[in-house]
Amino acid sequence: MRQILVTGGAGFIGSNFVHHLLQHTDASVIVLDKLTYAASRAALEEVPADRVRLVVGDVAEEAVVQGLVAGLTGPDDAVVHFAAESHNDNSLRDPSPFVTTNIVGTFVLLEAVRRHDVRLHHISTDEVYGDLELDDPAKFTESTAYRPSSPYSATKAGADHLVRAWQRSFGVRATISNCSNNYGPWQHVEKFIPRQITNVLRGDRPKVYGAGANVRDWIHTGDHSSAVLAILEHGTIGATYLIGADGERSNLEVVRAILRLRDRSEDEIDFVTDRAGHDLRYAIDATRLRTELGWEPAYPDFDAGLADTVRWYAEHEGWWGPAKDGVESAYAARGQ
Ligand code: NAD
Ligand code: TDX
């Protein structure tokens, strides 16, 4: 049976991809995850034990990674690499785990797939391209120059460079995707949309950095997963694909939509200390993905996807509740 190793498969997007693989392929899945604070075993609770195996371990640990990759001996076996430290604000407080997991972890994985000649798909982010002006007519494309702003995005950029070098110099069979901001079920309450939804659900006010003018290009995590599978199956080795679903919204527009969905006044917003180095705008041109691979989003309507997501958080307080107070007190200590 075909085997796919999914690093970071207990996280927000990785777990969604595991479910997507189970629904759309016959593959058996090995999840390698360190189970950091960001992981969620609950997101994998309902997967069949005969198709998914969870290995708790560190992607930066050579012995673990070499052992797992050595077992991928089938012609269509592959690694999909989601594992990362993923939150910008945390990278401003302590960049160290970002360097270890995002750069060293990717290096360790590359050495393993090189040694065992295994296909790799590497998950990256649009943040490697820096930011755009609000009125810039151009969006990010596969040829946009790298210009990362934060320790998080710099480590993701570093990892992308390693993947490209290992592909070119050693012939590693790799592809890369750079996706825009994801939203949907199982996203940690530290992130923007879950933080604001759960504040509103608790009767608190959304906390918006600066004036809320920053723009993000939102995509449902299910659409990220379908794009990754399309690239894994049909992408050109050595190529990069940008993933996005034309979902640009300012942060203020997003929190107002959340307040409206819960029948609260759109003015009930706290404007808090801005993020250092805060990127102004991201926007993705996904033409290559759409034309070359025929990919289309299943959730093209952000407002409908947001309403579903608000409902999901309303029904899952038992999951996000225990993390909420700790996250809020850490933000409050920074004036956010
Ligand atoms: P997440 O923080 O929710 O999940 C990351 C997962 O990786 C967790 O399960 C964690 O336990 C695991 N992990 C962390 N360090 C590890 C290590 N050293 N070894 C093994 N596992 C480790 O992140 P996410 O939002 O699901 O992001 C997944 C990937 O997608 C990341 O590579 C991120 O850069 C990328 N990405 C995220 C977004 C987004 O909007 N969230 C957008 C584009 C790209
Ligand atoms: O409380 C908040 N208030 C606020 O205004 C938080 C947590 C965030 N923000 C702003 C900052 C950003 O402009 O909202 C926007 C989104 O913030 P995050 O959810 O932290 O996402 P971002 O920094 O854009 O990065 C996300 O998308 C790209 C993911 O966390 C990354 O992993 C991914 O690579």
What tens digit of pLDDT does each residue of 44-94 get?
999 999 999 999 999 999 999 999 999 999 999 999 999 999 999 999 999
Mean pLDDT of 96-120: 99
User: If you measure from the C-alpha of residue 143 to the centroid of ligand 2, how many angstroms do you get, rounded to a whole number?
Assistant: 24
| pLDDT band at 202; cut points 50, 70, 90 | very high
User: If you measure from the C-alpha of residue 161 to the centroid of ligand 1, how many angstroms do you get, rounded to a whole number?
Assistant: 18
> Whose alpha carbon is nearest atom 3 of ligand 2?
208
Cβ 282 under 6 angstroms from ligand 1: no
Cβ 313 under 6 angstroms from ligand 1: no
Three-state SS across the chain? Answer: CCEEEEECCCCHHHHHHHHHHHHHCCCEEEEEECCCCCCCHHHHCCCCCCCEEEEECCCCCHHHHHHHHHCCCCCCCEEEECCCCCCHHHHHHCCHHHHHHHHHHHHHHHHHHHHHCCEEEEEEEHHHHCCCCCCCCCCECCCCCCCCCCHHHHHHHHHHHHHHHHHHHHCCCEEEEEECCEECCCCCCCCHHHHHHHHHHCCCCCEEECCCCCEEECEEHHHHHHHHHHHHHHCCCCCEEEECCCCEEEHHHHHHHHHHHCCCCCCCCEEECCCCCCCCECCECCHHHHHHHCCCCCCCCHHHHHHHHHHHHHHCHHHHHHHHHHHHHHHHHCCC
- Of residues 32, 53, 19, 28, the one with CA closest to residue 186: 19
Atom of ligand 2 nearest to the CA of 212: 5
Q: Are strands 248-250 and 215-217 parallel, antiparallel or unpaired?
A: antiparallel
pLDDT for res 78:
99
Instruction: Give the torsion through C-alpha atoms of 16, 28, 228, 39, to 10 deg.
Output: 40
pLDDT for res 179:
99
| pLDDT band at 316; cut points 50, 70, 90 | very high
> Whose alpha carbon is nearest atom 14 of ligand 1?
84
* Residue 334 CB partners (closer than 8 Å, separation 6+): 89, 273
pLDDT for res 22:
98
pLDDT for res 155:
99
User: If you measure from the C-alpha of residue 268 to the centroid of ligand 1, how many angstroms do you get, rounded to a whole number?
Assistant: 31
d(CA 124, CA 108): 16
Task: Report which bound ligand comes closest to the CA of 128.
Answer: 2
Cβ 124 under 6 angstroms from ligand 2: no
User: If you measure from the C-alpha of residue 261 to the centroid of ligand 2, how many angstroms do you get, rounded to a whole number?
Assistant: 21
Mean pLDDT of 221-231: 98
Q: Sign of the C-alpha dihedral, residues 326, 330, 335, 336? A: negative
Atom of ligand 2 nearest to the CA of 331: 1
Mean pLDDT of 215-237: 98
pLDDT for res 26:
97
User: If you measure from the C-alpha of residue 279 to the centroid of ligand 2, how many angstroms do you get, rounded to a whole number?
Assistant: 9
Largest CA distance in the chain: 58
> Whose alpha carbon is nearest atom 1 of ligand 1?
11
pLDDT for res 216:
98
d(CA 24, CA 333): 44
Cβ 102 under 6 angstroms from ligand 1: no
Atom of ligand 2 nearest to the CA of 196: 1
Cβ 7 under 6 angstroms from ligand 2: no
Cβ 188 under 6 angstroms from ligand 1: yes
Cβ 251 under 6 angstroms from ligand 2: yes
60, 108 Cβ separation under 8 angstroms: yes
| pLDDT band at 312; cut points 50, 70, 90 | very high
d(CA 90, CA 163): 24
Task: Report which bound ligand comes closest to the CA of 198.
Answer: 2
Cβ 33 under 6 angstroms from ligand 1: yes
- Average pLDDT, whole number, for the chain? 98
pLDDT for res 211:
98
Cβ 167 under 6 angstroms from ligand 2: no
170, 120 Cβ separation under 8 angstroms: no
CB atoms near residue 155 (< 10 Å): 26
pLDDT for res 239:
98
Share of the chain above pLDDT 70, in %: 100
pLDDT for res 197:
98
pLDDT for res 283:
98
How far is CA 265 from its chain centroid? 31
d(CA 226, CA 21): 9
Query: Which residue from 190, 192, 221 has its CB within 8 A of the most atoms of ligand 2, so it is best to mutate?
Result: 192
pLDDT for res 186:
98
Can you list the domains of the chain with their CATH numbers? 3-182+219-243 (3.40.50.720), 189-216+247-278+300-326 (3.90.25.10)
d(CA 325, CA 171): 48
Share of the chain above pLDDT 90, in %: 100
User: If you measure from the C-alpha of residue 191 to the centroid of ligand 2, how many angstroms do you get, rounded to a whole number?
Assistant: 6
Q: What is the CA radius of gyration of the chain?
A: 19
pLDDT for res 192:
98
Q: Which residues are identified as catalytic?
A: 126-127, 152
Cβ 179 under 6 angstroms from ligand 1: yes
pLDDT for res 153:
98
pLDDT for res 314:
98
| pLDDT band at 313; cut points 50, 70, 90 | very high
